[in-house]
Amino acid sequence: MHKVGEVRLRRPEPRDLDALLRQKNDPKIAGLLGGFRTGYARADLESWLEYHRTASDEVLWAIVDPQDACLGHVGLYEIDHRVRKAEFAIMLGERSAWGRGIGKSVSAWVLDHGFLQLNLNRIELDVLATNPRAKALYAGLGFELEGTRRAAQYKDGNFIDVHVMALLRGEWDAQR
């Protein structure tokens, strides 16, 4: 368990399922994140949780408040130790947690973990072009825009561009 500002990061557990089910089925949350949709059943999330708890190429944490209520999750995925890179993703699914700096502090902690503990050289992410808050967060953490995958996601009847961003170890070192 890791304390990060006003929240803690811990391994996701079955007790988080109710909160994750509500968050992942929230149309506003799903609309902000690539690859997400609504309509998850509890069994879907049980499978999702077990898969991500045991995957050997990722680290995933539940973001929890002081009462241990799940606010979302954050992690590094598709970790490739040979080329020292991973993909970053965060879902802060409780709207009451938005605008309080939680996403920034948790993201910064995960970046530190990736570069210092996992010895990564590159952390990359995808962000929907229609999510300005996330793009600003990532730019503020030092991520650079590397390109755009045009019409790479489909949401609510529309194709949406996806921005590819990355942060390199040397860039992260320089801003510390």
- The tokens for 83 are 């080329």
pLDDT of residue 110: 98
Identify the pLDDT of residue 38. 66
Residue-wise pLDDT tens digits, 26-55 = 888 888 887 766 678 889 889 989 999 889
The residue ranges of every structural domain in the chain are: 2-175
- CATH 2.40.50.100 for domain 2-175, yes or no, is no
SS3 136: helix
Query: For residue range 154-168, what is the model confidence (pLDDT) as tens digits?
Result: 988 899 999 999 999
Amino acid 13: pLDDT: 92
What confidence score (pLDDT) does residue 10 get? 96
DSSP helix/strand/coil, 98: coil
- Spatial neighbors of 172 by CB under 8 A, at least 6 apart, are 111, 115, 142
CA–CA separation, 117 and 32 (whole Å): 30
Q: Which residues contact 165 (CB under 8 A, 6 or more apart)?
A: 124, 125, 126, 127, 135, 138, 139, 143, 144, 145, 146
User: pTM of the entire structure?
Assistant: 0.92
Per-residue pLDDT tens over the stretch 67-121 = 999 999 999 999 999 999 999 999 998 778 888 999 999 999 999 999 999 999 9
Measure the CA–CA gap between 109 and 2, rounded to whole angstroms.
Answer: 9
In 3D space, the residue among 104, 81, 87, 84 whose CA is nearest the CA of residue 35 turns out to be 87
How far is residue 33's CA from residue 152's CA, in Å, rounded to a whole number?
Answer: 12
